[in-house]
Structure 1
Amino acid sequence: MTGGAGFIGSTLVDTLLARGDEVLVVDDLSSGKRENLAPGVALTELDIRDTDGFAKCAAEFAPEAVYHLAAQIDVRTSMADPVHDASVNVLGTLSVLQAARDTGARGVVVCSTGGAIYGDGAPLPTTEDEPAEPESPYGMSKLAAERYTRFFVRAHGLPALVLRFANVYGPRQHPAGGAGVVSLFCDRARSDRRPTVFGDGGQTRDFLFVGDVARAATASADRLADGDLAGEVFNVGTGTESTITELAATIGRIAGIDESAFTPEHEPARPGELRRSCLDPSRGIAALGLPAPTTLADGLAATWAWHTGRS
């Protein structure tokens, strides 16, 4: 698993370990943390753009399934340095796809993004049939990675599919670097500070609990191993929009903070960020046999419990 020491990857690692799988994590620890991983989990510290090193690592482990989560995930970083963004998200993905092909992996799950690929003009909730109209280098690089994945399916018979995630949140998402807004707001609530909102707060997102991501990824690899769904692209989301202002209010209530003490402070909107985003997950739910997504209230409660329990 690439990027397995991040908050999404480590949650997926736990899911795989719980069902008895052996897992090798490949992570350069640029944002992931060793302490996110359970004791004894094998970790190779490596940049996936090291094609020879990654190929050697994959050949030695000979994985049955490959989960590709390593990525440059920050829209602002992609705007400031699109070359770096493309290097990680496109060349890094090619490194993973080549190694998966050469080692005979039976299932390759490539993790992508939803909103940043569809762009601002798509109908909501957005289905997989909508055209891709990325509005940032990040969205462009993730779309290129998807298309390379589908090329490897066609040209090499690679059993791979793409999952387009909504805005993922949950335990282990640290409020630093390119962290999501849920983690940032929880950190503000924990330290008795008002949240900062960039823009008017009316922008919307589809907030997806990390446990739902892990279930979708494992189900995808299992179906691919059975010979199904190669080349498919599935949304993974909830189908529900929430404004950033609503999110702040909900976190404040869960944290037990008086509404007047958790009113957001506003800063100018940031370039490259979408006004509205929400994914229709129905196709993936049906194809992968997934349960209904976790409600925002339940997911935020679990996330807040993690934040209050960390040192």
Structure 2
Amino acid sequence: MTPDPSFWRGRRVLLTGHTGFKGAWAALWLRRMGADVCGLSLAPEGSPNLYDLLNPQTSADWCDLRNPQSVTACVQRAMPEIVLHMAAQSVVRRGYAAPVETFSTNVQGTVNLLEALRETEGVKAVMVITSDKVYRNDGKGRAFQEEDPLGGKDPYSASKACAEHVTSAYAASFLEPKGVRVASARGGNVIGGGDFTVDRILPDIWRATSAGTPLQMRSPRSVRPWQHVLDCLAGYFVFTEQLVSNDEAPRHINIGPDIEDTLEVLPLAETFISAYGKTVPIEIDTSPQPPEAPMLRIDPRLAATSLGWRGRIDARNAARLAAEWYAGYDAGVAAQDLCIEQIESYANGELG
């Protein structure tokens, strides 16, 4: 199932984190479906970044989620009907380096947003985007289901599990009683063109080839639920549509790849490099690293049964699509054209 443009057309949508990789793709797709998108975020980080490359026409508030007065003012200006909360400190290794920033952004920032929304009239639905890493990972490799215990051994994972608890508490105590439907979506490890984030495998390959240096790979045998950005966003959008229209819609759903679609970091990187068409030597970094789970899988079957949504792009094809995006960008094709081409192909059922 793909998102329904008729649902989004003319709707006032508050999108937090619209300057990030996933948020920039989301803002573009929502606008193309006719949504009136208002962004709430810090200014984009680094250069290049996808937000600036897309030459956005989204109305925007530059806002730090950690500042409650600023968040309240932004929400009151937006007066949203639908809220998609994507803003976060989203990098595991950065969480180790900056735990206070990570917890204050991901936990207190979520509190500040939901507190502002409970005083705002006209809100119909709030979708809080968390992570596949919210579960208590015992390392056994079982694909986590929505009712499994939450946990998190590192600051990022724990902060996202905390955001789940915050969301549930605000939903039960304040928002659901006044008719606002609230849910959380737990996405997989998202990859795709236009990601320039440090410490992510595909952007690291792109930077290494650009600089003519070897790729430093930390964990070649780690397994993650790799997912193309368009599959993930489609799941978020379809879930939101169901949340508004269906009283029986779940309140927590994994948005991830097929349960059998597992791929280690090294073959994912090799698939990308082959499709990208540029060679880069790979060196395994054996220096001490902050601990990360070697195996992470989530079970997406509830999304299939309750939403009719399934991921359409497997991990290898997701890597190939990302490689095509970066190759086009290197060749001088406008980032917006590259994104729109893939969005339209996905919406028309031509990808996956």
Question: Per the alignment, in what secondary structure is the counterpart of residue 142 of structure 2?
Answer: coil
After superposition, where does 1:1-311 map in structure 2 within 5 Å? 1-31=15-45, 34-104=51-121, 105-115=123-133, 117-121=135-139, 123-156=141-174, 157=176, 158-174=180-196, 176-177=197-198, 179-189=199-209, 191-199=211-219, 201-228=220-247, 232-238=251-257, 239=259, 240-257=261-278, 262-268=281-287, 270-310=289-329
In structure 2, the gaps of 5 or more residues are 1-14, 331-352
Question: How many Å apart are 1:142 and its aligned residue?
Answer: 0.8
Instruction: Quote the RMSD (CA, aligned, Å).
Output: 2.2
CA deviation profile, 1:265-293 (whole Å, cap 9, x unmatched): 33335213111111111112322221433
**Which amino acid is 2:88 matched to?**
A
How far, CA to CA, are the matches of 1:189 and 1:229 in structure 2?
A: 49
How far, CA to CA, are the matches of 1:45 and 1:57 in structure 2?
A: 9
Question: How many Å apart are 1:189 and its aligned residue?
Answer: 4.1
Question: How many Å apart are 1:13 and its aligned residue?
Answer: 1.1
Q: 1:140/1:39 Cα in 2 relative to 1: closer, same or farther (>3 Å)?
A: closer
How far, CA to CA, are the matches of 1:269 and 1:235 in structure 2?
A: 32
Identity %: 23
In structure 1, the gaps of 5 or more residues are none
How far, CA to CA, are the matches of 2:72 and 2:19 in structure 1?
A: 19
**Which amino acid is 1:294 matched to?**
I
Q: Report the count of equivalent residues.
A: 306
Are the aligned partners of 2:82 and 2:124 in contact in 1 as well (CA < 8 Å)?
yes
**Which amino acid is 2:295 matched to?**
R
Question: How many Å apart are 1:215 and its aligned residue?
Answer: 0.7
Q: 1:130/1:141 Cα in 2 relative to 1: closer, same or farther (>3 Å)?
A: same
Question: How many Å apart are 1:211 and its aligned residue?
Answer: 0.4
Question: How many Å apart are 1:234 and its aligned residue?
Answer: 1.1
TM-score, length of structure 2 as denominator length: 0.80
Question: How many Å apart are 1:148 and its aligned residue?
Answer: 0.8
Question: How many Å apart are 1:30 and its aligned residue?
Answer: 4.8
Are the aligned partners of 1:5 and 1:29 in contact in 2 as well (CA < 8 Å)?
yes
Question: Per the alignment, in what secondary structure is the counterpart of residue 303 of structure 1?
Answer: helix
Question: Per the alignment, in what secondary structure is the counterpart of residue 272 of structure 1?
Answer: coil
Are the aligned partners of 2:24 and 2:51 in contact in 1 as well (CA < 8 Å)?
no
Are the aligned partners of 1:159 and 1:227 in contact in 2 as well (CA < 8 Å)?
no
TM-score, length of structure 1 as denominator length: 0.90
Question: How many Å apart are 1:77 and its aligned residue?
Answer: 2.3
Larger displacement relative to structure 2 (152-161 or 286-295): 286-295
Structure 1 runs of 4+ aligned residues shifted over 6 Å read: none
Q: 1:229/1:138 Cα in 2 relative to 1: closer, same or farther (>3 Å)?
A: farther
**Which amino acid is 1:183 matched to?**
P
How far, CA to CA, are the matches of 2:269 and 2:223 in structure 1?
A: 12
How far, CA to CA, are the matches of 2:79 and 2:51 in structure 1?
A: 23
How far, CA to CA, are the matches of 2:250 and 2:112 in structure 1?
A: 18
